[in-house]
Amino acid sequence: MKEKAIKLKTPLTSEQVSKLKIGDRVLLSGVIYTARDAAHKRIVDAMDKGEKTPMEIAGQVIYYAGPSPTRPGNPIGSVGPTTSYRMDTYAPRLIEKGLKGMIGKGSRGKEVIEAMKKHKAVYFGATGGAAALIARVVKKGQVLAYPELGPEAVNLLEVEDFPLVVINDVTGADLYEEGVKKYQK
């Protein structure tokens, strides 16, 4: 029998993410933000200069995605996950500032996993290739910052029951590594 998905609402707390384990299915609702590498660089540069960031970082979830253009009558275009390791240079700094969740696809680097362990954050996997289906969970979308970056701008998304899987938890466990080990036996 499959375990029921865990329902979470943003912003997230250390207590909430500490209960999550690799392989947990999560349905995430609330406000999340999209940002890819160009936006991450700008956010970290703003932090380095002591400037205000486009959003409060603490408790938030960043989705590594660049939405396609919005069709009339829809809150957003297709919005699939991008490869997460491209944000690994910036993620530890954001996690240190209180970022509680990241959504993307692919593995994370050692420094990111160490930051997640130290500061209690998780990495969620979203299904690659399902961008149009994922867009259905978005109830509202708007460009929040850096509109000149086009699809790489920071967007505020209101989501309802965004289906995710915990890939890395606060213990440093890795679903990808555990999955390989399981089938090597």
Q: Which tokens sit at 113? A: 């996993």
- Catalytic residue among 16, 26, 36, 40, which? 40
Distance from C-alpha of 37 to C-alpha of 21, rounded to nearest angstrom: 27
Buried b (16+ CB within 10 A) or exposed e, 143-152: ebbbeebebb
* CA-only gyration radius of the chain, Å: 16
Look up residue 177 and give its amino acid. Answer: E
Angle ∠(120,11,33) on CA atoms, nearest 5 = 100
Strands annotated E in the chain: 6-9, 25-34, 61-63, 101-104, 122-125, 138-145, 154-168
Closest CA to 43 of 101, 91, 102: 91
Concerning whether 119 is annotated as a catalytic residue, the answer is no
Active centre residues (catalytic)? 40
